[in-house]
Amino acid sequence: MDSIDIRNLTKKWFSDATPKNYKDASTTIGSDDNGVITVTAIDDIFNDKTIEVVVGSGNDIAMSANFSDDSLVVTLGTGSAGAVDATKNTAILIAAAIDELNGFTATASGTGATAISSAVTEKAFTAGQLGTPCMIGGVALLSSGTYYVCIAPDNTTKNANWRSFTLTSY
């Protein structure tokens, strides 16, 4: 991209008021700087999926993650006495188990060392959004003081090539 062509957004170029980037549906579970797990449904913009954390029933149960009927269920691992075992249920381990499932990615915040130690009520994924197609790379559109720049052409609704900025005086 050697040059930028800036155009005022005086006519509607697309269905939204301003361009948007594609986003998959996602949600989070857990807490703490080292214990939040962000779960993303790959190539899915809808919020028809849910996630739930349940406590395993029995002694020495391994932590696991399973998906069926639009429900992602994480079963917390237990120790020899049947209680939740924090060492089996750290954010990094749960994220890795979810990452193994087809159609999902998961990341843990910080070090991922904080454990999820109790059940989490069923929670819906937040809806994603379709992106605004970008037919010409290097085009900048100006709307209400904000510049929207297409950094690379992608004429699909999976486009995530829009960037925005505003100018400030100094």
Q: What band does 135 get if pLDDT is binned at 50, 70 and 90? A: confident
Structure confidence at residue 139 (pLDDT): 80
Structure confidence at residue 112 (pLDDT): 97
Q: CA–CA separation, 126 vs 3, rounded Å?
A: 37
Structure confidence at residue 137 (pLDDT): 83
pTM value is: 0.82
Instruction: Give 89 or 142, the one with higher predicted confidence.
Output: 89
Question: Which own/partner pairs from 2-8 qualify as long-range (CB within 8 Å, at least 24 positions apart)?
Answer: 2/138, 3/138, 4/138, 4/139, 4/140, 4/149, 5/136, 5/138, 5/139, 5/140, 6/140, 6/141, 6/142, 6/147, 7/139, 7/140, 7/141, 7/142, 8/141, 8/142, 8/143
pLDDT at 102 over 90: yes
Backbone angles phi, psi at 87, to 5 degrees: -70, -20
